[in-house]
Chain A
Amino acid sequence: MIAYLIRRILYAIPILIGVNLLTFALFFVVNTPDDMARMQLGIKRVTPDAIEKWKQQRGYDKPLLVNSAARGAGKITDTIFWQKSASMFVLDFGYSDDGRSIGREITQRMAPSLAIALPTFLIGLVVYVSFALLMTLFRATALDIAGVALCVLLMSVSGLFYIIGGQFVVSKLWHLVPISGYDGGMGGFKFVVLPIVIGVVGSVGSSSRWYRTIFLEEIGKDYVRTARAKGLSELRVLFSHVLKNAMIPILTGVVVVIPLLFMGSLLTESFFGIPGLGSYTIDAINAQDFSVVRAMVFLGSLLYIVGLILTDISYTVVDPRVRLQ
């Protein structure tokens, strides 16, 4: 089992390297730093001097991969790749266009992101699983059909609608909570409650339906028939047999997103003015701040890979076949 986990962790390294190379190619090879400078400074009235200055400020005035002018290790280290891309492995993300440390910005913004994302995730999980269990229990009845129809309807609505509609009704019409803003500590509750509710409601449709499919697949298996033949009630069958087995496919889909909670949600944070990583990313995209976007891409995949490893670990908890082999 330990060997299995170590192997999974080792497997993550080449993937991170791949992500790093991909982002490097995307940000520095598809368009040269000159192109970016020209774009940022305005296409029409740009002078070569201005471009050089822009590049120098950001450290983009170096060769991409090999610096033939430098000596020794500098041939490798004094390059854009080494300083801008490879450095991310040690979580050194450099500076944004307005000169602030991206790394510090990230650590500061993680907490607000989590304050929204974590409750959304946990409440959502409970709500979706309960709703799906309910539909499974009443499968093939009017209740189930209505539930599925509701799910399809809810998942056909744009996510933007939930946010805009929610803000309009709850904040503008009813004046229950402020329309946007954020505050740390207990005072922040009034700010986070609406984004959380909207986040949960927003994916009720697709998630509940997904869980329902998993439960239905499990409930068709032979061991469920055995459990019923033992004289267990349908509720016991569902909770003590089906749910345990359904944990394996559920964990596959769920655990992997836990680390990504740090990243927050782009839409929610931007609409509600939450100073988290999501709104940080959106602002960077709008300002075309490439170094921030690059940092977020790398951070995102790092967290995703952590999620994959966590998933593997979680299997050992719920699946004896993985644990004992």
Chain B
Amino acid sequence: MGDILDVSNLVTQLRNGARIVDDISFSIATGETFALLGESGCGKSMTALSLLRLLPDGVVKVGGTAQLGGVNLFDLRERDMRDVRGGTAAMIFQEPSLSLNPVMTVGQQIVEVLALHQELRGTVAQQRGVELLDQVGIPDAARRVMEYPFQLSGGMKQRVMIAMALAGQPKLLIADEPTTALDVTIQAQVLQLLRDTQAASGMSLLLITHDLGVVAEMAHQVGVMYAGHIVEQASRAQLFAKPLHPYTQKLFAALPGAARRNQPLAAIPGSVPPLGSITQGCRFTPRCDRAWALCSEQTPEWTVLEEGRGVRCHLYGRTEERGLRTEDLAHSPQPTVHSPQSSVLSSKSSALLQVGNLQVHFPIRKGLLQRVTGQVKAVDGVSLEIPHGRTLALVGESGCGKTTLGKALLQLIPPTAGSVKLDGHELTGLAASELRIRRAGMQMVFQDPYASLNPKMRVAEILEEGMAALNIGGNSEARQARIDILLDQVGLERIVKWRYPHEFSGGQRQRIAIARTLAVSPRLLICDEPTSALDVSVQAQILNLLKSLQQELNLSYLFITHNLAVVEYLAHEVCVMYLGRIVERGTAEEVLRSPKHPYTQALLSAVPRIDGSGVERIKLEGDMPSPANPPQGCPFAPRCAHTMESCRASYPPATSHSATHIVHCFLYGRDLG
């Protein structure tokens, strides 16, 4: 089998000379998948855009060659290049909702490709469009072809993107983070679709991703990118069996999971260097714990090792070039176990937070007079408890109401009904002044560290705001002292308090956001996807921090997330939420090891595993229904493989599997009563 794509020495840079893609070479065999793995800002997408010559303004390719099916892409005239784009090589992007033209029907957008590359027109093209939609698994394709992107769900839009890419019958499909914006169950569907199409058409796939799990499921060959370089390249089996480059090793070690529960994650200190900031030596040197003098002096050469794998690291260079070394290869440090299972975790203490039948409904207004015609039941009767010093993970896909629940607990969104008791004090329905007294007890860490800090305030002002509002911390001198302590606690230098947020990286910002909440000494932190906007290596830093803070301060966490690996690592108890309701809850062990609810089972099976150990895949059809128009009975019934008559009639009552494990599902109702 020959190579369909052969890239050598590709260099792409900004107009000011900073190199985004620096001397990259790789090739993709026909019918295979090559994964470019890396964190944000390391140049993966720019590599792909360079190949198709679609670089944004201000970025230029300055060197290298790319042979696609024997044609040098960089020698082609622009007109011939257009035949390649969408013809021989098609591309799909990360954000399906932004990548489709909002004012053209799905059909028009597909037919456009057919007319361009297949010379199909009129009804023939229309017919082929429907076929393509059918092929990518869109139900009722003949109707959908007339619809606009806004009428489709996220997963459907990505399917349309794939259909559009397939329309030109490409030999190479470039997929740039194709599932990052999608929920895990939808991700599983889309990845399956990509594999199936590849098997059917024999096309090659250049898959760009940051997710090791996706790589494990999809790739034949993997290239690991860091700061513009490919630092390691190997087959999937080789890479997952034995990563060579320190960066790759660290990436694996930074992954949270059940196996690492009681130890801190091996976080990589710092973050990816800004473009062009390191011109000499290995770019990973500042974050590498195995670097020695040579690493910062000389850029390591590409070293080819056994069985075609290669690595760009002095550790594997020729011995005479290695210079002075402080450590040996075998001596790779294992992260030390920080503390044993703490005694707090096992002892069952009284609940800090008690939520009873909480409901948050938003009115739907329609018609001439904007009358309320219905309710969006974003949170529909949720009850939960969080004991002191414990972590409750709230798991669910986007749109299930988990963020709304978090904000309703904080009374940022007034609940429609139900009760929220913090330390025995009811919070709902309090007047603003009474509520303020209780606010210090519960705080929130938000998802996006770039949006959660006011760019116009210094760090000190940000940290002081809560103290000032709640009259905590005495006079301003005492507060300044407290700010210093807080910065110590979250692992930032004290000096940073005079800086503005724009000077910090995402991980540092999240530390500041955590320090802000700690300023008022809360007992409970609501963490709303606090690591989902961060790279894996930085995520590990934040998770470590949260874990050590919990042990230090006996904090309770409500951890809202869709990332099950994080849940396995961090949570004591888990609630699984679907369409405004909690469908299953129990200890982490119970829910994650022996899930009972069909939805939990499907969710768990959809997560790509890096060890390749396949839990049997439960395929989930379709999308989550709209909370404005939930199905009768059990909201999961339309997607469930075990649907029974009773499921459509009413919502299943709680059934207990153990003292802590509760499931809402009729499957168990009869047996357990």
Contact = CB atoms under 8 A, between A and B. Distances in A.
Contacts of A231: 82-87, 113, 116-117, 168
A232 B116 contact: yes
A244 B100 contact: no
A3 interface: yes
A225 B93 contact: yes
Contact of B151 (A232, A248, A318, A324): A324
Given A228-B85, A230-B164, A222 B99 contact: yes
Interface in A1-55: 3, 6-7, 10
B21 interface: no
B150 A321 contact: yes
Given A227-B101, A241-B101, A3 B164 contact: no
B474 interface: no
A231 B150 CA distance: 24
Given A229-B54, A231-B83, A221 B116 contact: no
A244 B104 contact: yes
B100 A229 contact: no
Contact of A223 (B82, B102, B105): B102
Contacts, number: 85
B56 to A, nearest CB: 8
Interface string A297-309: 0000000000000
B116 A321 contact: no
Contacts of A247: 103
A248 B104 CA distance: 13
A321 B368 contact: no
B91 A229 contact: yes
Contact of B54 (A140, A228, A245): A228
A2 to B, nearest CB: 9
A230 B85 contact: yes
A318 B103 contact: yes
A57 interface: no
B57 interface: yes
A230 B111 CA distance: 11
A74 B295 CA distance: 97
A18 to B, nearest CB: 20
Nearest to A230: B86
A139 B116 CA distance: 25
B103 A230 contact: no
A233 interface: yes
A241 B174 CA distance: 22
Given A140-B57, A318-B103, A226 B93 contact: yes
A167 B113 CA distance: 53
Given A229-B90, A231-B85, A232-B112, A320 B103 contact: yes
Contacts of A248: 103
B112 A6 contact: no
A319 interface: yes
B98 A221 contact: yes
B372 to A, nearest CB: 15
Contacts of B103: 244-245, 247-248, 318-320
B120 to A, nearest CB: 14
A321 B366 CA distance: 16
B211 interface: no
B148 interface: yes
Interface in A234-273: 240-241, 244-245, 247-248
Contacts of B148: 320-321, 324
Contacts of A10: 368
Given A228-B54, A229-B52, A232-B82, A223 B100 contact: yes
A160 to B, nearest CB: 39
Interface in B153-179: 161, 164, 168
Contacts of B3: none
Contacts of B308: none
Contacts of B112: 227, 230, 232, 240
B99 A225 contact: yes
A222 B158 CA distance: 14
B461 interface: no
Contacts of A244: 101, 103-104
Interface in A288-325: 318-321, 324
Given A222-B95, A229-B85, A229-B91, A245 B101 contact: yes
Contact of A320 (B83, B86, B95, B150): B150
A7 B369 CA distance: 8
Contacts of B333: none
Interface in B464-496: none
Contact of A226 (B84, B161, B168, B367): B161
B54 A225 contact: yes
Residue picked from A228, A229, A247, most chain B C-beta under 10 Å:
A229
B82 A233 contact: yes
Residue picked from A226, A232, A247, A318, most chain B C-beta under 10 Å:
A226
Nearest to A219: B57
B606 to A, nearest CB: 26
A229 B151 CA distance: 23
A245 B102 contact: yes
Given A230-B90, A320-B105, 14 more contacts: A7-B370, A221-B98, A223-B98, A223-B101, A225-B99, A226-B93, A227-B112, A230-B86, A231-B113, A244-B101, A245-B101, A321-B148, A324-B148, A324-B151
Interface of A: 3, 6-7, 10, 139-140, 221-223, 225-233, 240-241, 244-245, 247-248, 318-321, 324
Shortest Cβ-Cβ A-B pairs, 4 listed: A231-B86, A230-B86, A222-B98, A231-B85
20 contacts: A3-B367, A222-B98, A226-B93, A226-B101, A227-B112, A230-B85, A230-B116, A230-B164, A231-B83, A231-B87, A232-B112, A232-B116, A233-B82, A244-B104, A248-B103, A319-B103, A320-B103, A320-B105, A320-B150, A321-B150
